[in-house]
Amino acid sequence: MQAMHELAKGSQITDLTEMLAKQLEKVVVITDATNRILAHYDPLDTGIEMSKFFTLKYHATKNKQYCDGQWETELGLIDYVYFPIKVEGKSYGNCIVLCSSEEMAIEQLKLIEQMSLVYLLALREILQNDAARERVSDEIVYDILYNNYDSKVALYEKAKHLHWDMEGPYAILVVETKEDKINTVRKAGPLKFNSSSPIHTIVNEKVVFILSLTNIISKNIEDTIDGFVKKLLSNLASNHIKDVHIGISSTAKALTDLHQCFQEAKIALELGKVFNLGKINHFEKMGFLKFVFTASAQELQEFEERILGNIIVHDLELEADLLDTLKVYIEQNCHIANTAKAKYIHENTLRNRLKKIEQLVNLDLSRIDHLVNIYIALQILALDFYDGS
Amino acid sequence: MTLRQRGFLFDPNRCLGCRTCIMACAANKNLPVGMYFRTIENQEQKIGNLILKYYLSTSCNHCNNPECFRLCPKKALKKRKDGIVLHDPLKCDGCGTCTRSCPFEAPVINNITGKMIKCDLCHEKIDEGKQPACIAACPVKALQLINIDEIDSQADDIVRRLPGVIKIQITRPAMRYKKLKIGSQALRNSVADNLEQGELKYKDDQV
């Protein structure tokens, strides 16, 4: 009842947590539905350090009101009991008490159960406020990302109103993951980057982070961004999200150049997926690949067919494996022994195949200019099989 | 923020190659003589023993990752909240970067003004709740305006590419196609019959 009064008087979730922790005489942590820590209070001064997320290990217990688990810390394993704060069909967060379930008295359990309702109301308000703030910010971010504004002055005014750091340069990070995890990825972004809060939004099932690079010298930019990505991935791992692809743009001097960076980050992400370049892809490191697909698609296809057409036809007619052999040979840096090993064939078989390939494509595999053509044709072929889904 | 991406749905089984879409677009946009935003190609593809013949009507695909938009040095292109890529002639100096960078060669240079012009999906008409000129003019309803995100999860007879359509999809064109059906010429006749009676009914399984 007292907590309800406190909430009505305008007390924050941190005040409520302090009140509960003092009454329980235990460490209390409140998280939202994405396990982000919103408040914690340690009445015992245990010195346990909290990060941004509390990784819950879900356990079903006989008692449906609460579950228990163990938290791995530098001080060793710590028992905890957590109470889901939810209504039917929607979870708002968790109330976590650092102790084992045996240490909880019946009165304490009852107290937490009563407090859950107060937390539910407080968390709902936080959620609504966050959503309203994000709606306003998303509108402006969208206009920036798609160059969709009439006046630069008005744009800067809006940005100023939202307390954004308007000094460039900037970089953009685009994160793609499963659709149902998108909101969690947005919330998992580190709170600070280069001593300011990164601007974030969701556009077409991708999370976009706008990072201000003010006062970072150019040779340190990449390392600083990588540090941000590392923290982000660590936060995502706390939420059991591992399947992500990240595209990172080059730098933009001003807010009004960000639309180009946004496209670069998306292209880096897409090319990384097409060419299996790994989870994290910097646009600036894409080399010639970033130029390849900006040529006329018709010309690219004709180039690819001219170089590889005969091999593809040969493979289809004789059910042979020359195209894949060539791919692996290029992947293995033209190393005969490694290619033979990767293809599970004898080196002499490989040499015969390479001879056949040279005859079919009418190119010399020992010449760098011919190899470059073959490499580009293979990359275009990889683009062909990518349907964007 | 989830944004709707508008785009075209093209049904090659219905298209007669009559070029009405091209003419309606050119008339609506007052294009100079001989310049068009839309093209009709006669596609002939051999798949196994089958020879597929159909007409393909294309224009700007209003891509999700438009290269013209990224590379324009004058920042003359923008993308609306419904995904339509628009061009600002006041900013454009006709350098042609966009025409060279588009994998689909959709933007063209206007010979008279020397500036780029491209399909704008008749966005004013869309804002008024009307259909773009090409779609409204098509006598066999081979073109439709769709929300790409909705259609991808709905229909299983819709594909991202047809045989003969440019394979490179990394710009994520906002274009979808109905699957080709064998014997589509017979289908066209039945469409014409139905149109004479004032109604448009299709026998989709007709072979």
Contact A270 B2 (CB under 8 A): no
Q: Which residues of A touch B103 (CB under 8 A)?
A: 293-297, 300
For residue B184, give the 3-state DSSP assignment.
helix
A150: DSSP letter: S
B198 vs A142 pLDDT, higher one: A142
Query: Is B146 a residue whose pLDDT tops 70?
Result: yes
Residue B195 has pLDDT above 70, yes or no: no
Q: Calculate Rg over the CA atoms of chain B.
A: 18
Residue environment code for A284-301, b if the CB has 16+ CB neighbours within 10 A, otherwise e: bebeebbebbbebbeebb
pLDDT band at B22 (very low <50, low <70, confident <90, very high): very high
What's the CA gap between A129 and A123, in Å, rounded? 10
| Residue scoring higher pLDDT (B140 or A23) | B140
pLDDT of residue B186: 39
The token duo for B118 is 């491209």
What pLDDT score was predicted for residue B191?
46
Total-model pTM: 0.78
In a domain, B41, yes or no: yes
The answer to whether residue B207 is domain-embedded is no
Q: Please, are residues A70 and A78 in contact by the beta-carbon 8 Å criterion?
A: yes
Answer whether A227's CB lies under 8 Å from A188's CB. Answer: no
Burial of A201 (0-12, 13-18, 19+ CB in 10 A): buried
Which chain A residues contact residue B166 at CB under 8 A? Answer: 297-298, 301
Domain at A295-384, CATH class:
mainly alpha
User: Cα B25 vs. chain centroid, distance in angstroms?
Assistant: 11
Please, how many CA atoms are within 13 Å of residue A8, restricted to the half-sphere of its CB? Answer: 5
Residue type, A243: D
Three-state secondary structure call for residue B30: coil
Distance between CA atoms of A158 and A136, rounded to whole angstroms? 10
* Kind and range of the H or E run holding B32: none
Instruction: Give the minimum alpha-carbon distance from B87 to chain A in angstroms, rounded to a whole number.
Output: 11
Q: Predicted confidence band at B2 (pLDDT cuts at 50, 70, 90)? A: low
Q: Are strands B85-87 and B77-79 parallel, antiparallel or unpaired?
A: antiparallel
Asked whether the beta carbons of A54 and A96 are under 8 A apart, the reply is yes
Per-residue pLDDT, B189: 46
Instruction: Specify the CATH number for the domain of residue B80.
Output: 3.30.70.20
| Higher pLDDT, residue B202 or A61 | A61
What pLDDT was estimated at residue B63? Answer: 92
How far is it, in rounded angstroms, from Cα A356 to Cα B156? 42
Q: Give the minimum alpha-carbon distance from A94 to chain B in angstroms, rounded to a whole number.
A: 26
For residues B79 and B139, what is the distance between their CA atoms, to the nearest angstrom? 30
Number of domains in chain B: 1
Q: What per-residue confidence (pLDDT) applies to B203?
A: 42
pLDDT at A63: 58
Question: By the CB < 8 Å criterion, does B74 face chain A?
Answer: no
Least CB-CB distance to B168: which of A135, A204, A383?
Answer: A383
Q: Which CATH superfamily is domain A146-291 in?
A: Reverse transcriptase/Diguanylate cyclase domain (3.30.70.270)
What confidence score (pLDDT) does residue B56 get? 93
With a cut of 50, list the residues of chain A below it in pLDDT: none
* pLDDT score at A1: 67
The phi, psi pair for B77, rounded to 5°, reads -115, 145
Cβ atoms within 10 Å of A190's Cβ, excluding its own: 17
Query: Of B3, B24, B20, nearest to B119 (Cα)?
Result: B24
The torsion of the CA quartet B187, B42, A301, A248, rounded to 10 degrees, works out to -70
pLDDT recorded at residue A239: 81
Residue B181 lies in a domain: yes
Half-sphere exposure of residue B85, counting CA atoms within 13 Å on the CB side? 28
For chain A, give every domain's residue range.
Answer: 2-125, 146-291, 295-384
Would the pLDDT of B185 be above 50? Answer: no
CB within 8 Å of chain B, chain A residues 281-310: 293-298, 300-301
* pLDDT exceeds cutoff 50 at B197: no
Half-sphere CA count of B43, side-chain side, radius 13 A: 21
Using a CB–CB cutoff of 8 Å, tell me whether A146 touches chain B.
yes
Residue B41 pairs in a beta bridge with B56
Residues whose CB is less than 8 angstroms from the CB of residue B200 and which lie 6 or more positions away in sequence, other chains included = B140, B141, B191, B194
Q: Kindly tell me if the per-residue pLDDT of B199 is higher than 60.
A: no
Helix segments in A37-170, DSSP class H = 106-145, 152-161
pLDDT band for position B141 (cuts 50, 70, 90): very high
User: How many H-runs (helices) and E-runs (strands) does chain A carry?
Assistant: 13, 10
Q: Read off the amino acid at residue A289.
A: L
Name the residue in chain A with its Cα closest to that of B101: A294
ipTM over 0.85: no
Report pLDDT for B1: 53
Per-residue model confidence (pLDDT) at position A353: 94
Token pair recorded at residue A321: 């494996």
Stronger pLDDT, B187 or A57, i.e. the higher one: A57
Task: Quickly count helices (H) and strands (E) in chain B.
Answer: 7, 10
Measure CA B149 to chain center: 17
Q: Which fold has domain A2-125?
A: Beta-Lactamase (3.30.450)
Kindly state the tokens that stand for B163: 């045989």
Confidence of residue B161 (pLDDT cuts 50, 70, 90): confident
- Residue B177 is part of which domain span? 6-196
Do residue B1 and residue A202 have CB atoms under 8 angstroms apart? yes
Residue A33 near residue A92, CB atoms below 8 Å: yes
Closest CA to A50 of A22, A30, A26, A70: A30
Rounded Cα distance, A86 and A319, in Å: 59
Q: What is the pLDDT of residues B80-138, one digit of tens each?
A: 989 999 999 999 999 999 998 888 889 999 989 999 999 999 999 999 999 999 999 99
Structure-token pair, residue B19: 């070029």
Contacts of A142 in chain B (CB under 8 A): 1, 3, 81
Q: Which residues in B lie closer than 8 A to residue A388 (C-beta atoms)?
A: 160, 169-170, 172
> Does the beta-carbon distance from B167 to A270 stay under 8 Å?
no
* Residues forming beta bridges with residue B45, ordered by sequence position: B52
